């Protein structure tokens, strides 16, 4: 049981996290822009998240919190 949370207004939508996820379950959503005007990253399949924190390690903006 693990959870990846993106801090909505801190994400700059750079997509580096999407390259780091070994489960390939991180992507940009295209529904809601944050206050910086960007579409942010999210976990496409929470049940598949293993909490490895590789997305968070790759994030330049400390915009990802991992719980396990």
Q: Under the rule (CB under 8 A), what is the footprint of another protein?
A: 1-3, 9-10, 12-16, 19-20, 38, 51, 53-54, 56-62, 64-68
Q: Toward another protein, which CB reaches closer, 20 or 23?
A: 20
- List Cβ neighbours of 5 (8 Å cut-off, separation of 6 or more): 64, 65, 66, 67
Q: Smallest gap, in angstroms, from Cβ of residue 47 to another protein? A: 14
Q: Toward another protein, which CB reaches closer, 45 or 57?
A: 57
Distances (CA, A) of 14 to 45, 48, 49, 58, 68: 20, 22, 20, 10, 25
């Amino acid at each position: 049981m693990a959870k990846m949370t993106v801090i909505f207004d801190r994400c700059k939508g750079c997509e580096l996290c999407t390259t780091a996820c070994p489960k390939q379950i991180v992507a940009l959503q295209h529904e809601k822009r944050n206050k910086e005007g960007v579409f942010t990253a999210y976990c496409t399949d929470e049940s598949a998240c293993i909490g490895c924190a590789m997305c968070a390690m790759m994030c330049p903006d400390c915009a990802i919190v991992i719980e396990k």
